[in-house]
Amino acid sequence: MRELKYAEAVRAALEAEMEADESVVIMGEEVGALGGVFTVTQGLVERFGEHRVLDSPISEAGMVGFAIGAAAEGMRPVVEIMFSDFVLLALDQIVNLGAKIRYMSNGQFSVPLTIRMPGGGGTNHGPQHSQSLESLFAHVPGLVVAMPSNPSDAYWMLREAVRSDDPVIFLESKNLYFRTSGDIDTRTGPEGFAASVVRPGDDLTVVTAGRMVERCVLAAEELAAENVACEVVDLRYLWPMDTASIEASLRRTGKLAVVSEAVEFCGWGGEVAAWAGEHCFESLDGPIVRVGSERVPIPYGHELEDQVVPTTERIVAELRKLADY
């Protein structure tokens, strides 16, 4: 067991995979001497050398395309995008090549590539450094979309991502990097794409992911005082989505809320809601509730951000309404 902060857990996973496999290399802006703007790669260039920790020019499209080419020829690159917002510069390479080359080539290529990036708000970085773009990636065939909500998941999900033979979009929460820590069993951990029930309850199901897991748990604790038992399901992966776990919970509770940091409109929460409506209609005892970000950019100050991103208070209010339905 090691107690690690979220950012340290990501680093520990990188170290473990780099030790285990020579073909694992890191590419990114300021990942070398600086150690990454969020300290994730600190010490790695000293330990593994410049040939395995490659400082990139500020060329997201070129770097990601380069990494795709290298992955298709047997390397296992882990690309760091400094802020998830910057991945938009590389979207063509990800969507048109990395995600499709296996399909387009009739199986001639695989792309064992991980693209890590810190997303979401909560750090006062303003509108171009705070977006939650996960719904975009969940929409693209060929990608895996991982969203760890805690240090242990960050560790084990990243190790699995690096070992995956398919491209993984790995969305970290920069708000959680230094704020959360946890005991991590680095010998054995969860494998596969199952969601995790982080708090059991029988009255209503709250499906969430990433940074919102923490707020949903806080909301559930508050509602427990009102004798409402919320079951909080941390999806962990947006694709593949563990619909079986959603269904199992919903069959017991009969009520579903989906909480996302991503913009609610056309966001992944809508997918969960639609899926539940199609497949669990008989189990539903109330309307499906979505709680997501407003369809506006993420503003700088906390007072404004709290008007846009779901707060614990807003989640509590929505869940209470649903419980009372």
Dihedral angle of Cα 104, 134, 249, 202, to the nearest 10 degrees: 180
- C-beta closer to another protein: residue 143 or 228: 143
54 contributes a contact to another protein by CB under 8 A? yes
Question: How many Å apart are CA 93 and CA 78, to the nearest integer?
Answer: 15
Stretch that binds another protein, among 149-157, 160-168, 201-209, 272-280 (CB under 8 A): 160-168
Q: Closest Cα to residue 218, out of 316, 294, 133, 325?
A: 316
The residues, any chain, with a CB within 8 Å of residue 81's CB and separated by 6 or more, are 28, 60, 64, 87, 90, 115, 116, 117
Q: Closest Cα to residue 68, out of 24, 101, 28, 117?
A: 101
Stretch that binds another protein, among 35-43, 90-98, 258-266, 287-295 (CB under 8 A): 90-98
Task: Figure out which of the listed residues 49, 107, 278, 281 binds another protein, where binding follows CB under 8 A.
Answer: 107
Q: Is the peptide bond before 240 cis (omega within 30 degrees of 0)?
A: yes
Question: How many Å apart are CA 11 and CA 278, to the nearest integer?
Answer: 41
Is 129 a catalytic site residue? Answer: yes
Question: How many Å apart are CA 288 and CA 2, to the nearest integer?
Answer: 39
290 contributes a contact to another protein by CB under 8 A? no
CB of 105 to another protein, least distance (A): 4
223 contributes a contact to another protein by CB under 8 A? no
Residues contacting another protein: total by CB under 8 A:
46
Q: Closest Cα to residue 279, out of 297, 256, 296, 301?
A: 256
Task: Figure out which of the listed residues 19, 20, 43, 105 binds another protein, where binding follows CB under 8 A.
Answer: 105
Task: Figure out which of the listed residues 20, 33, 104, 296 binds another protein, where binding follows CB under 8 A.
Answer: 104
- C-beta closer to another protein: residue 141 or 301: 141
CB-based contact 78:162 (threshold 8 Å): yes
Pick the catalytic residue from 129, 139, 279, 302: 129
Tokens encoding 186? 């680095």
Question: For the chain, what's the residue count?
Answer: 325
Stretch that binds another protein, among 54-62, 262-270, 277-285, 294-302 (CB under 8 A): 54-62
Q: Closest Cα to residue 262, out of 84, 28, 16?
A: 84
CB-based contact 80:116 (threshold 8 Å): yes
- C-beta closer to another protein: residue 204 or 241: 241
For another protein, the binding residues in 59-88 under the rule CB under 8 A are 59, 61-75
User: Contact positions toward another protein, by CB under 8 A?
Assistant: 23, 51, 54, 56-57, 59, 61-75, 92-93, 96-97, 101-112, 141-142, 144, 164-166, 192-193, 240
Catalytic residues, by residue number, are 129
